[in-house]
Amino acid sequence: MNGTPLATWVGLLLALGGTTALAFLKHDREGPIQKARHLITTWGGSLALLALVLYWEQRPLSSIGIVWGSYAAWSIGALCGLLVLAMSALPMYFAKGTMPEDSLRGVQKILATPLAFRIATIVTAGTTEELTFRGYPIERLHEIGCPIWLAALIPLLVFTLAHLSMWGKGHLASVAVGGGLLTGLYLWQRDLIACMIAHTLIDCLILLMPMLLKRYHAQVQARAASA
């Protein structure tokens, strides 16, 4: 590790430390989402990381898993995303179980924003979080000597904890499971675009939430009335 270029250390700090710090700074769990600040800081950090790869490290985007034309991997990513989306939506549609209070509060904050912002948020999370929590840190940590399992586990833990700022502790289990699936997909395909596709499709659950919540509350009330 002593021979690790300074650019790599800065990139890891930006991807893991900087991104996580911004997540806590830009979200007030009790107040509304600051829409412009969210998008500007999230994209700004990711574009800075891409610039570091291209101009400081002077390495191709393929060094962080961005490979063009890998249609088979992209199809696998789309299928994985749709499967997880279905597995997330169906239990809520049929009111199996309960939604954690932290998750419900986070969903309500998102649904209070305009539809255009929700779509932008889905695309933003699906793209930038894969870059900062999957592609760059996994590849660079592995390069500097971490076993591949540790190089994958460290970003996954940071990714999960970064969601505390918006969602709280009650939502972390589902974040860890979803993040684990995306990490597994990356290790399998080594294609970051496939992970971006899967992540974006999974987050489309946000667009289904109004209908799902209406159905969810109706089923819960019906169950309570018959008890």
Q: What is the mean pLDDT of residues 134-159?
A: 96
- 68 in a structural domain: yes
**pLDDT tens digits along 22-31:** 666 655 556 6
Distances (CA, A) of 6 to 10, 18, 91, 150: 6, 16, 47, 21
Distances (CA, A) of 129 to 17, 145, 225: 13, 23, 42
Q: What is the mean pLDDT of residues 119-141?
A: 96
Distances (CA, A) of 50 to 5, 53, 133, 156: 16, 5, 13, 20
Residue range of the domain that includes 14:
6-226
The pLDDT assigned to 32 comes to: 75
The pLDDT assigned to 19 comes to: 77
Number of domains in the chain: 1
The pLDDT assigned to 225 comes to: 67
Neighbour-count burial of 187, counting CB atoms closer than 10 A to its CB (0-12 exposed, 13-18 middle, 19+ buried): middle
Q: pTM (2 decimals)?
A: 0.89
CA angle 202, 172, 81 (to 5 degrees): 15
The pLDDT assigned to 26 comes to: 58
- 98 in a structural domain: yes
- 176 in a structural domain: yes
CA 79, CA 189: separation in Å to the nearest integer? 13
CA 83, CA 97: separation in Å to the nearest integer? 19
More confident residue, 2 or 199: 199
- 1 in a structural domain: no
